[in-house]
Structures are given as structure tokens and as C-alpha cells.
């Protein structure tokens, strides 16, 4: 079976740290990144988050780079357009492209760099959360947000059954493949249709079975969520504060600086 992102989060050693601390770090990173006016702070945040995810969170570096690459592709195209078509200050570069003259201006370039670094820092922050905090840890957080109980219960059950049905879909597909269900285009369509309908019926049945399973253990309409208590340890606190302070300092120092 292929690993999905949640699996990496489950294996990460940072999984067993305080969820609130992680959330605070991510939130702080996002806010600081957005409120920065120079690219230095966001780049620093991106570096710190990336380092933490890969070195402390043991996310495979290759996977991490691959993950960054996809959204970065979009960001880069957007940034190019901003750099070339916006701004009004000093000209840095100009060339002709298919008859059009393209100008690269100073403030355009600065804006482009800022956007790029901000999106990078945002991505790194979110990936930090995604790769170190599996869904099962977030249920406790959901609960604290005072969402309706049934919503949380439902999300817990859905989480579990996503994997049951994923497993089911994979094995049905495999069973179809070994009996040549995907050997031609029309057959593939037929097989896929069968897969879908079977999955639908199975999920219906599974609902019945789930009800039986819950009832046979005296289900009385509420599913208690047991939070694991994970106190924030001193080294974590120190490291986080150092990171926060450094970021704030950078934010202050680079307030009016320009790098181009």
C-alpha cells in the first residue's frame, strides 16, 4: 500500500509533542510571514520550519522537496508575472520578447520576491503541521474548539472508515486487475463502474455493521474522546521562544530594508 501524508505524520517523532505548541508555532509562522515587509523573515521562517520538519520530524527529505515543488511551481509562475508586469520604479532590465518589450523594475522585483518568500514560508509552516501532526491528534484540538460533539464523533468514524474503504477499493481493484478487468479501455470503464457500485453497497453494509459493533459495546449515543496529556517540556519551550524572539527581531530589523 502506498503511504499517504498521514502515515508520515504518524511515524514522526514530533507526533508525540504537545499539539497546541505545534499549532502555536504554525500560526505564529503564518502571521509573521504575512506581516513581514521584506523577504528575509519569511525565508528564515521557511528555513526553520523546513529544518524542524526534516531533521527533528524525520520527514524524508526527498518527499519534502517533492511536496514543496508542486505548489512552488504555481508560485513561481505567478511571481514571474508580477515581476515583469508590475511596478513603476527604476528599470533594472529590459528586453524584447516576440515583439513586446518587457521591463523588469525594482519595486516589481521586490514585490515578487516578497510574494515568493511569503508563500514559501506559509507552505513550510503548513507542511510542518501536516507532516508532524496526524489527524488522530487533531481530534482533541477539534474538541477544544467546541465544535458540536456529533461533528467530532462523525469525523473520527469517517477517519477510520476512509482507510477501511481505501483498503477495500485497493483490493477490489487488484482482484479486477488479476482477472484482466483493465485490459482494454471499455473493460476498464466497466470495471471501474463495478468498483464504484460495489464500494457503495459495501459502505452501506459497513454502516449496519458499525452500528452493531457500537451497540454490542453498550453505545449510548456518545463517544468519549480520550485526550493524551502531553505537557510542554522545558527544552521545547526554550527552543520555541528562541525561535519566536529571533523571528520578531528579524521582523523589526528588516522593516524598512530593501534587498535589491
Partner 1 sequence: MIILETRSLKYTYPDGTVAIQDLNIEIMKGKKIAFVGQNGSGKSTLFMLLNGTLKPGQGEVLFHGVPFKYDSKSLRDIRKSVGIVFQNSDDQIFAPTVYQDVAFGPANLGYSKERVDACVQQALEYVGLSHLKDKPPHHLSGGQKKRVAIAGIMAMEPEVIILDEPLSNLDPVGADEIVDLLNEFNHFGNTIIISTHDVDLAYRWSDYVFLLSNSKIIGQGTPTEVFKDPELLKKAGLRQPTTLEIYREIERRGLAYGRNSPKTIPELVNTLKPLDLMWVDVPPRVKEGDSLNIGVMYGEYATQSPYEAVNATVLHIHPNGRAIVELKRKGIKAGGILIYDTNNYSLPEIKQILKDGEIAFVGAMGKKSKILAEQDGVGLDVSSGVVDKSILMALCGKRCLILTAGGMVDHAFKRIKEYVEKSGIEFTVGVVNREEGCMWLKETGDNSETLKI
Q: Which of 129, 127, 121, 123 is nearest to 41 (CA)?
A: 121
Residue closer to partner 1, measured from CB, 146 or 229: 229
In terms of C-beta density within 10 A (0-12 exposed, 13-18 middle, 19 or more buried), how is residue 133 classed?
Answer: buried
Among 34, 69, 93, 164, binds partner 1 (CB under 8 A): 164
One character per residue 138-157, x = contact with partner 1 (rule: CB under 8 A): -x----------------xx
Farthest CA pair distance, the chain = 76
3-state SS assignment for residue 44: helix
DSSP 168-219: HHHHHHHHHHHTTTTSSHHHHHHHHHHHHHHHHHHHHHHHHHHHHHHHTTT-
One character per residue 196-235, x = contact with partner 1 (rule: CB under 8 A): ----------x--xx-xxxxxxxxx--xxxx-x-------
21 grid coordinates: 505548541
CA 173 to chain centre: 28
3-state SS assignment for residue 102: strand
Residue closer to partner 1, measured from CB, 135 or 239: 135
Residue closer to partner 1, measured from CB, 94 or 171: 171
Compute the least distance from the CB of residue 147 to partner 1, in Å: 16
Q: Is 237 in the site for partner 1 (CB under 8 A)?
A: no
One character per residue 102-141, x = contact with partner 1 (rule: CB under 8 A): --------------------------------xxx--x--
- Give residues in contact with partner 1 (CB under 8 A): 7, 10, 16, 134-136, 139, 156-157, 159-161, 163-164, 167, 206, 209-210, 212-220, 223-226, 228
Amino acid at each position: 500500500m502506498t503511504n499517504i501524508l498521514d502515515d508520515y505524520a504518524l511515524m514522526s517523532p514530533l507526533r508525540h509533542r504537545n499539539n497546541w505548541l505545534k499549532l502555536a508555532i504554525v500560526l505564529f509562522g503564518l502571521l509573521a510571514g504575512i506581516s513581514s515587509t521584506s523577504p528575509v523573515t519569511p525565508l528564515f521562517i521557511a528555513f526553520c520550519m523546513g529544518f524542524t520538519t526534516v531533521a527533528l520530524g524525520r520527514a524524508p527529505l526527498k518527499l519534502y522537496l517533492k511536496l514543496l515543488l508542486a505548489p512552488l511551481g504555481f508560485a513561481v509562475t505567478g511571481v514571474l508575472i508580477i515581476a515583469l508586469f508590475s511596478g513603476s520604479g527604476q528599470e533594472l532590465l529590459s528586453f524584447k520578447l516576440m515583439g513586446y518589450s518587457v521591463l523588469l523594475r525594482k519595486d516589481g522585483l521586490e514585490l515578487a520576491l516578497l510574494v515568493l518568500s511569503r508563500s514559501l514560508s506559509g507552505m513550510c509552516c503548513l507542511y510542518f503541521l501536516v507532516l508532524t501532526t496526524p489527524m488522530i491528534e487533531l481530534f482533541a484540538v477539534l474538541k477544544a474548539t467546541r465544535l458540536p460533539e456529533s461533528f467530532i464523533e462523525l469525523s473520527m468514524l469517517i477517519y477510520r472508515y476512509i482507510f477501511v474503504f481505501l483498503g477495500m477499493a485497493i483490493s477490489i481493484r487488484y482482484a479486477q486487475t488479476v482477472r484482466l478487468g483493465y485490459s482494454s479501455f471499455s473493460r476498464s470503464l466497466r470495471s471501474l463502474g463495478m468498483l464504484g457500485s460495489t464500494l457503495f453497497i459495501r459502505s452501506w453494509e459497513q454502516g449496519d455493521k458499525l452500528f452493531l459493533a457500537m451497540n454490542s459495546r453498550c453505545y449510548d449515543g456518545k463517544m468519549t474522546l480520550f485526550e493524551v496529556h502531553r505537557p510542554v517540556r522545558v527544552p521545547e519551550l526554550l527552543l520555541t521562544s528562541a525561535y519566536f524572539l529571533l523571528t520578531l527581531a528579524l521582523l523589526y530589523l528588516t522593516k524598512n530594508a530593501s534587498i535589491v
